[in-house]
Structure formats: structure tokens, C-alpha cells
Amino acid sequence: MQPGSKSKFQVFRAHTREKRFILLIGDLLMAFLALGLALFIWSQIDDWSLTFWRERVAGWYYLLPFFWMFLLTSLYDPHRVNNWRVTVRGILGAAIMGGVIYAIIYLLMKGTQARIGVGFFLAFAASLTLLWRLIYIRIFTLNVLLRRVLILGAGKSGETLVEAYRSLNPQPFQLVGFIDDDPNKVGNQVAGYPVLAGSDRLPELLKQEAVSDLAIAIGGAMQGRTFQAVLDAQENGVEIIPMPLLYEELLGRVPIRHLESEWLIRSFITEARPPAFYGVINRLMDIVFSLIGLLILVVLLPFIALVIYLDTGGPILYSQVRTGKGGRPYAVWKFRSMVQDAERDGVHITVEEDARITRVGKLIRRIHLDETPQFWNVLRGQMSVIGPRAERPELIALFEKQIPFYRARLMVRPGITGWAQINYMYPVTVEEVAIKLEYDLYYIKHRSLLLDFSIFIRTIWHSLGFKGR
């Protein structure tokens, strides 16, 4: 279909929030269908009678669809939902995790007769959800249903949007090109896309190219006629999206190199207020998970201490000063994973294949066991389970001189895991630290219980995949 052609199917071009709602409803329907099928097969194997329904099917069994939805939390990330490989891994991983959780409960409660029903439910839920997700991906990656985006401004901000767009596969919308008032750019290409015209032809191009979204990527002041054309476009149903918001939608980061200082006040003080009761529930969850973490620490401590001592001797634990919320320093304890006196020459960023890391250190860092003593800091309220990574004061002093908005990450308590930790590699260069900061600021701006659950689930698989360093 040609860019400017029309189709009766183009009436509905879903945005991210609408797609997420459709996905949620579909997953929930598949989960309840899986419950019905599991009950039917289970009853045929056992005994279709009142005794079966009264005695064999406990009340908690009917809550399995909601448990399944919890396991799928990480698959509602808009940056991952259209990736088929990620979807398959996520759904199979959810089924495995559900089976492991049930097996632990089964052993702790000394057996339950619902194991057949749970097994059937997980099998049906995984199969039906995979089928639904395949249909969803096929439908919402059709060109006729994709949003058509025109970028106003072919400067550095516009090029940055194109780079972000090209980094995604599959791409979430159709990029039409640019509008720019620089006559030297009109008729040429910028970042591989045409500069179609100046802003005086904006109304005409919006209709001609069937544009659904107009991305504003103008760094300086906007001319009066251009501003009026943008207002007219909005009145005619075109979605107006500032460059930073579209960048966030594409990458799950904020573009710190393209922000003005007032953005910090607007985003984090005026707009980025967590949902009601988020702080209370978040703190309660921190206390629960820190107690569980400390219990695991008590169980594992003798074994970890023994292998560290046999490998490189003592000490087993070491302490570091980290910077917490509001710039307040505090001490953390970690299992020693490096050689003694690893920082005798000063503070260094850990790099891949760092020669200072011991053999045992490589293992415990891979599965993040070296950080389990930090649950004590979580219990004390100095840290949270989810948040930006706790950083050394010396490195913060260094980075804030080179990276804009770096201290903004101190607006919340640091976390054992976080959005940046699961989405980006361990930074080595200043530029990589800046990218990781973009993830941290995105989390601070959008933090919610749903996002926290997603991070928690993905952290488990991150650890099981030995992706730590």
C-alpha cells in the first residue's frame, strides 16, 4: 500500500496504552479458558461428581488465572511485546516458574491432590497464551494498523529519534519522514529519511501521508505559523508527541542529551508522582522481601563463606560506602568477590573479565549472591529492592561533572535491582553510564507497582541466566 493511500482498516491505529489493554484482556481470557479446560480434563481423569468439585478442587485453584497474569508481568513491557522470540521465552519461562513455585509449595505443605489440575492449567495457559500472542503480533504489526509518524524538526533531536526507531525490531510504527524549515534540508535525506517540506506545507502533508502522529523535535523556539499549524493538526485528530516522550516510548529511557533544565522539575516534581499508596505498599514489600532475603542469607552464609575462604582466604565480607536517597552516605556489606586490596590504587569501575575478580567471585556475581547482605540495608530503609543501583560517592562526584541530570537518580532510594540493571549491560565508559542513567530516570518518572513486579520477575530470570558480572 502506498504511503498516502487510504484504507478502511486505518481507522484504528492503537497507541501503546490501548495495545497493552487489549493484550491484558486477551491474556486474561486465555487464562480463564485454560482454567476451564484444565478442570474439564482433570474431572474426566478423576471423577465427574459433586465429591470432585467439593473436595478435590480447592478455592485457591480458581485464582490460578490471576497467578498466571502475575507471572506474565514482564511481557507487558511495550518494548518487548512485538518480539516473538522474547514472547516465547517469556511464556515458557512463566510456565516453568509457575511449576517451580507450585513444587516448593507442594513440598512445604507435604503434598496436595491438586497437582494434576495445576499441571494441566500451566500447560493449557502456556499454549493458549502463545497462540493469542502470535495472533496479537501478527495483527498489530500489519502496516495498515501501524501509526504513521512525521517528525517536525530534522536536527539532532530528530536524528536521535530515527536512531532509536531503527534500533527496534519489529518497528512499532511507520516513519514517514521529516518536516523542516531549513531550505538546505528540504528535498534531501536526513538519517536515511526524506525531508518532505517546510512547515508551511504541514497541513497538506498530514493528509497526503495519512499521518496519525506528529513528533515535535524542535530544539529552539517554534515560529508562530508553525505553532498554529501544530494546533490545527491536533484539532484534526493528529496526536502531538514531544520528542522526549516518543523516545521514552521507543526505548524505555529518557534522552538526557536533549532535555532542558525545566524538564527535570516538570517531570519529577509536577508529573512523576507515584500512584496513591505506592510508597506504603512499596515499603511493605521491601520489608517482606528483605526478611526473605535475610533468611536465605542465613542459610547460604556458611557455604558461601567456606568456598570464599578455601579459594582466597579471608575476609569473607567487606564494607563500602554508597550514596543513598538525597545524597546521604551509608555503608553496605557484600561478600568479597575480588582479591584482597582490590582498590589499593583507588576506585575503579568493574569491567568485563576483570582480573581482580576471583574464581568464586565470578560465580556468586553471576547470580548476584554477593549482594544478598544488602537486604539488611533494605530492612533499615536505606535501600529498596527496586531502584537505581547504589553508587560510590567518588564515582558520583566524577559522573555529575560529565553527565547532565546525574544527581537526579538520588531522588529515590537505591535498589538491589532495577530497570537499568535488567535492561543494560554493566557500563564502562562515561557514555555507557549516561545511557544507564537514562534508564534510571525513566524508572523514577514511571515507577509503579506493575513496573516493580515486572522488574522483579525479569531479575529472577536474569539471575538464573547467570547474567551478572
According to the model, what pLDDT value does residue 111 have?
59
Q: Is the pLDDT of residue 1 over 50?
A: no
Write out pLDDT tens, residues 270-315: 655 677 788 899 999 999 999 999 998 999 889 989 988 888 887 8
CB 370 within 8 A of CB 364: yes
Q: Is the pLDDT of residue 56 over 50?
A: yes
Listed by start position, the domains of the chain span: 9-140, 146-251, 278-464
Give the total residue count for the chain: 469
pLDDT (0 to 100) of residue 276: 72
* Res 7: pLDDT: 38
Give the CATH H-level superfamily of domain 146-251. NAD(P)-binding Rossmann-like Domain (3.40.50.720)
User: Average pLDDT of the chain?
Assistant: 84
pLDDT in tens, 422-451: 888 778 788 999 999 999 999 998 888 888
Q: Tell me: the pLDDT tens digits for 176-206? A: 999 998 899 998 999 999 999 998 899 899 9
Q: What is the pTM of this model?
A: 0.81
**CA 49, CA 225: separation in Å to the nearest integer?**
75
Nearest to 9 by CA among 203, 210, 240: 210
Average pLDDT over residues 53-65: 77
pLDDT above 60 for 129: yes
DSSP assignment of 59-121 equals GGGGGHHHHHHHHTGGGG-TTTTT-HHHHHHHHHHHHHHHHHHHHHHHHHTT--TTHHHHHHH
* Cis ω for the linkage preceding 255 (within 30 of 0): no
Q: Which residues contact 443 (CB under 8 A, 6 or more apart)?
A: 386, 387, 388, 418, 419, 420, 451, 455
With a cut of 90, say whether residue 381 has pLDDT above it. Answer: yes
